[in-house]
Structure 1
Amino acid sequence: MKTSRESSLLGKKVILLGGTSGFGLETAMAAADEGASVIVVSSNQQKVDSALTVLPEGSKGFIADLGNEKQVEQLFKKIGEFDHLVFTAGDELKFSDLPKLDIEDAKLAINLRFWGAIMAVKHGAPQIRAGGSVTLTTGALGRRPRKGTFVIAGMASAIDGLTRALAIELAPIRVNAVCAGTVRTSLLKSMPELEREFFLATLETNY
């Protein structure tokens, strides 16, 4: 834990939904390093167990299907009051040409990333202490899409609009979205190799 200056997260309770791998886990580690007490949540017990091996002693993990409202509601009843909510949950994002789009796969992705975020805020916001915040995650493809990313771009744009609306709805709770660029996490690695390398090769010209 950092001691060179007093951190605004020192002694705060931070909930990270999807905080067991990739961007979410790195965020959890950074918050813990600033003195926060962190709780990570995933639908996968193995991921929770793995995350807790790299997080400081005292960190906690819970299992919940973040696409299931009843489980999300029960989760926040267990957690109780806290200071900051971070939503980074999301499964593999698949690129697709429109004629080849699997609508059911797209619906599942949207359910977790968009409706999951809404359910988390709906049931989590009443537990946020004064001075607390909500942070959602979106992506650069929402602003600068490329071929094959229309589902991803649509979700990112929807989350951007959701963030603005929730900031009005929940004031004075702060609501922001982190618009992440491409980060080499397990999510990126889950893409087929040729697709991943082509995507990375086009970043310089597209962005």
Structure 2
Amino acid sequence: MSLRGQRVVVVGGTSGIGLAVAGAAARDGARVVVASRRQESVDAALRELPAGTEGRRLDATDEPAVRAFFERTGAFDHLVYTAGESLLMAGLAESDLGRARRFLDTRLWGAYAAVKYGAPGIREGGSVVLTTGTAGRRPLPGTSVAASLCGAMESLTRALALELAPLRVNVVSPGLVRTDVWREMSREDRAGLFESSAAALPVGRVGTPEDVAEAYLYLMRGGYSTGSVVVVDGGGLLV
């Protein structure tokens, strides 16, 4: 039940939940590779993560680049995919279809490409852990794109768990977490969202990336979970 000596690749591992997963895996003894679209993000993450962490630039929407990345990476044990830009919040009438497609390109098709080209390099006993969200189960007005993504990621996880067996494929579904995905909201609106949500949640607070990272480590360490959706939302689906 330890990642010691194992190699973990975290696509999107330079900020937010992905950075927390990379740090937790490294502290558990794993050799970690993080990848991000922006080189400056990679450099900043490497200054924060434990010595020995590798970092590379990768645009997950560029299929040839994804293929080349995993060819260069070689054999490893676990693939974690957390890459994604800020959340897309817009009503149907105001939605920008081009932006919606780009949102799905990174979060859905980027994950699809990463598994396609990464899975052949995963050693026996390894796993894939993807990322979704609770909007698929409890959508709100203005979240049609995000909710569609979340539903797709859950279905993709179940399908891949069967197609790639015995390789384990699971997905983590975070609720409201303090990360940069909310950066397009004003500081006042963001603070109001966190305050009102904390008051409503059974745990009495909004989540942190470190809270959610524990679910990824559980799914990597454990050998009996596949096709599973692990919700980490402070009880948000209950209220």
Q: 1: distance between equivalents of 2:46 and 2:188?
A: 33
Task: Please tell me the residue identity of whatever aligns with 2:20.
Answer: E
Task: Please tell me the residue identity of whatever aligns with 1:138.
Answer: T
* 1:101 aligned counterpart, secondary structure: coil
The alignment's C-alpha RMSD in Å is 1.5
Q: May I ask how many residue pairs the two structures share in their alignment?
A: 201
Aligned to 1:4: none
Matching residue within 95, 100, 123 for 1:101: 95
Q: 1: distance between equivalents of 2:25 and 2:173?
A: 18
Q: 1: distance between equivalents of 2:7 and 2:65?
A: 20
Shift of 1:197: 4.2
Determine which structure has greater relative contact order: mean sequence separation of CA pairs < 8 Å that are 6+ residues apart, divided by chain length.
2
**Structure 1 residues 108-130: Cα deviation after superposition (integer angstroms, max 9, x where no partner):** 00011000010000000000000
Task: Please tell me the residue identity of whatever aligns with 1:127.
Answer: G
Counterpart check, 1:140 vs 2:134: yes
Which runs of no fewer than 5 residues in structure 1 stay unpaired?
1-6
Task: Please tell me the residue identity of whatever aligns with 1:115.
Answer: W
Aligned to 2:57: 63
Q: Is the 8 A contact 2:86 2:183 kept in 1?
A: no
Equivalent pairs: percent with the same residue?
47
Task: Please tell me the residue identity of whatever aligns with 1:121.
Answer: V
Aligned to 1:28: 22
Matching residue within 174, 183, 187 for 1:180: 174
Q: 1: distance between equivalents of 2:196 and 2:67?
A: 41
Which runs of no fewer than 5 residues in structure 2 stay unpaired?
202-235
Task: Please tell me the residue identity of whatever aligns with 1:49.
Answer: D
Q: 2: distance between equivalents of 1:199 and 1:8?
A: 36
**Structure 1 residues 109-166: Cα deviation after superposition (integer angstroms, max 9, x where no partner):** 0011000010000000000000000000000111101111110011011000000000
Q: Which moved more, 1:12-21 or 1:188-197?
A: 188-197
